[in-house]
């Protein structure tokens, strides 16, 4: 069965960086885009970005594009989301999610499988 398993909770100081992992299983890793979505405590959902595990190409939310980097390791079927220069406003649960659409086609926002979420807390 399809599973996305994320790394554990992180506590970081302002200005630091965090790298969250998302390990995929149960399907061909390179066949589906992976998105990252975050949710601050008590707030709504916010799209962070997308990675194509096949070619490694990425797309980021404009407000984060200077600080976020998404990478993948095909040998371990894992994607990573790194966020730098952390601020208190980055405190949120970060989810990875699989796009229904295969990487041979244009991506979508139809996310059928989600990771369990990783809480990133930024506090001095």
Partner 1 sequence: QSVLTQPPSASGTPGQRVTISCSGSSSNIGDNFVYWYQQLPGTAPKLLIYRSNQRPSGVPDRFSASRSGTSASLAISGLRSEDEADYYCVTWDDSLSGYVFGTGTKVTVL
- Which residues of this chain interact with partner 1, rule CB under 8 A? 35, 37, 44-47, 49-50, 59-62, 95, 97, 100, 108-112, 114-117
Q: E-assigned strands of the chain?
A: 3-6, 10-12, 18-25, 32-39, 45-51, 58-60, 68-73, 78-83, 92-102, 111-114, 118-122
Residue 11 CB, shortest distance to partner 1, in Å, is: 20
Residue 57 CB, shortest distance to partner 1, in Å, is: 13
Based on CB atoms, which residue is closest to partner 1, 43 or 124? 43
State the DSSP code for 105: S
Based on CB atoms, which residue is closest to partner 1, 5 or 16? 5
Residue 108 CB, shortest distance to partner 1, in Å, is: 7
Residue 96 CB, shortest distance to partner 1, in Å, is: 10
Based on CB atoms, which residue is closest to partner 1, 49 or 53? 49
Burial class (CB in 10 A: 0-12, 13-18, 19+), 27: middle
Category of 37 on φ-ψ map: left (φ > 0), alpha (ψ -120 to 50) or beta: beta
């Amino acid at each position: 069965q399809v599973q996305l398993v994320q790394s554990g909770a992180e506590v970081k100081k302002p200005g630091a960086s965090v790298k969250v992992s998302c390990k995929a299983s149960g399907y061909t890793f390179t066949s589906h885009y992976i998105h990252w979505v975050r949710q601050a405590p008590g707030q709504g959902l916010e799209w962070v970005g997308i990675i194509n595990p096949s070619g490694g190409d990425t797309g980021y939310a404009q407000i984060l594009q200077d600080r976020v980097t998404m990478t993948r390791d095909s040998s371990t079927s894992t994607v990573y989301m790194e966020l730098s220069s952390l601020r208190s406003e980055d405190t949120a649960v970060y989810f990875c999610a699989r796009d229904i659409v295969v990487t041979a086609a244009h991506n979508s926002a139809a996310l059928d499988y989600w990771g369990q979420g990783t809480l990133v807390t930024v506090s001095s």
